[in-house]
Amino acid sequence: MVVKSGALEGRVAIVSGSSRGIGRSIAERFASEGAAVAVTWHQREDAAAVLVDEIEKQGGRAHSFQLDVMARSSIQRCIARTLEEFGGLDIVVNNAGFLEQKPFATISDDDWDYTMGCNLKSAFVFAQETLGHFEAQNSGNLINIASIGGQTGGTKAPHYAAAKAAMISLTHSLAKIFAPHGVRVNAISPGFIATDMYADIATRESEDAILDTIPLGRIGEPGDISDAAIYLASDQAAYVTGHVLNVNGGFYLG
């Protein structure tokens, strides 16, 4: 995918969970392509502040907001403050997520509810809370960060896989619901990406065993996902909606 410099010039984006990992990379790339970015954090205020400072030193626009994706009121406040700070909203990236590996028999109701809330309900609430704004401007862009686990299932974190599978289904539904209002809704399905989440997985599994499942033979980088997000957010994807973009080195091929 080749996206011209300035592909997101003049646009405003919220990236949930953008103080680290994939979210941080997406926020950085969006800013480098001209977007004003709401960098959100839950517990890592210092990390978010560092990112905002780096973006501003590069001539970009960013502001950090605390965000609890489990609370509708926090999502509402984040949207309102973004509109106030930047004067608009064009793109929402639902990146915040939670993965805990647990044997199926030991998953509690609380485990299930928290995993569903963080990985799925947050995307649902963001969609509901931005619909009116996107309708009014007859444009908008929602990008959901799903997971290969949502397409293949998973024995080590089945509740996470179920949440991401539902996110993919929600993406398809929202693409149909939002399309008459000029809004595109897509998902990205990462595989193994070199983040803190992957580091936790890699302590339990041999990296050689993981690499054996990836036809391209390497672990992905956060930049691989942010490149895909730039494409989906840009006008080069103007006729793309309801799509799940696999960025997993061929893992999905089985």
pTM: 0.93
The set of long-range contacts for 108-112, using a CB threshold of 8 Å and a minimum separation of 24, is 111/159, 112/159
62/107 Cα distance (integer angstroms)? 38
pLDDT for position 205 = 66
Question: Which two structure tokens, joined as six digits, stand for 31?
Answer: 């800013």
| Catalytic hit among 114, 160, 198, 231 | 160
Short-list 3, 57, 6, CA closest to 35: 6
CB 253 within 8 A of CB 215: yes
239 is known as an active-site residue: no
CB 38 within 8 A of CB 65: yes
DSSP count for the chain of H helices, then E strands: 10, 7
Beta bridge partners of residue 138, listed in sequence order = none
Sign, Cα dihedral of 191, 195, 198, 202: positive
Helix (H, G, I), strand (E, B) or coil at 132: helix
Amino acid at 152: T
Phi, psi of 181 (to 5 degrees): -100, 10
95/27 Cα distance (integer angstroms)? 11
pLDDT for position 204 = 66
65/45 Cα distance (integer angstroms)? 9
| 10-residue stretch averages of pLDDT, the chain, 254 residues long | 73 97 97 98 93 97 97 98 98 95 95 96 98 97 96 90 97 98 98 80 74 90 97 98 96 79
* Domain ranges (residues) in the chain: 12-247
The set of long-range contacts for 52-57, using a CB threshold of 8 Å and a minimum separation of 24, is 54/28, 55/27, 55/28, 55/31
Q: Which CATH class is domain 12-247?
A: alpha beta
